[in-house]
Amino acid sequence: DIQVTQSPSSLSASLGDRLTITCRASQSIDNWLAWFQQKPGKAPELLIYMASNLQSGVPSRFSGSGSGTDFSLTISSLQSDDSAIYYCLAYKNYPLTFGGGTKVEVK
């Protein structure tokens, strides 16, 4: 089974900051990686799929990159609405594997 290591587990940044969250898979998953945003009491929402494809309706300040084993989610200019927990998901094969999550606080 593929293991996914997500880092950092939490971070605090200021409005307008650029921030990056990373996920590392234990073996190559090509581009089969997605990123989700989850706010308290809500279901996760898809941000990025196939490593770098921005889901329709998601602000362009979000971007994803990477392939193989190393991936990143970047928020180019942090907004107050971006306070949330972010998860990556490796989905090349079953079992699907989520990263442990990154809690983002906007100062």
Partner 1 sequence: EVQLMESGGGVVQPGGSLRLSCEGSGFTLSDHYMEWVRQGPGKGLEWVGCSRNRHNGFTTQRAASVKDRFSISRDDSGNLLYLQMNSLKIDDTAVYYCVRYDVDAARYRLWGQGTLVIVSS
For residue 100, give the nearest of 48, 29, 30, 22 by alpha carbon.
Answer: 22
**Least Cβ distance, residue 36 to partner 1 (angstroms):** 8
Per-residue contact flags (x/-) with partner 1 for residues 10 to 49, judged by CB under 8 A:
----------------------x-x-x-x----xxxx--x
Region from 15-23, 66-74, 76-84, 91-99 binding partner 1, contact rule CB under 8 A: 91-99
In the complex, the smallest distance separating the C-beta of residue 45 from partner 1, rounded to whole angstroms, is 8
> Tokens 């900051």 appear where?
17
CB 75 within 8 A of CB 18: yes
Q: Could you say which residues in the range 55-74 bind partner 1, by CB under 8 A?
A: 55
Could you give the 3-state DSSP secondary structure of residue 3?
coil
3-state secondary structure (DSSP) of residue 75: strand
Q: How far is the CB of 43 from partner 1 (least distance, A)?
A: 4
User: Would you give the end-to-end CA distance of the chain in angstroms?
Assistant: 37
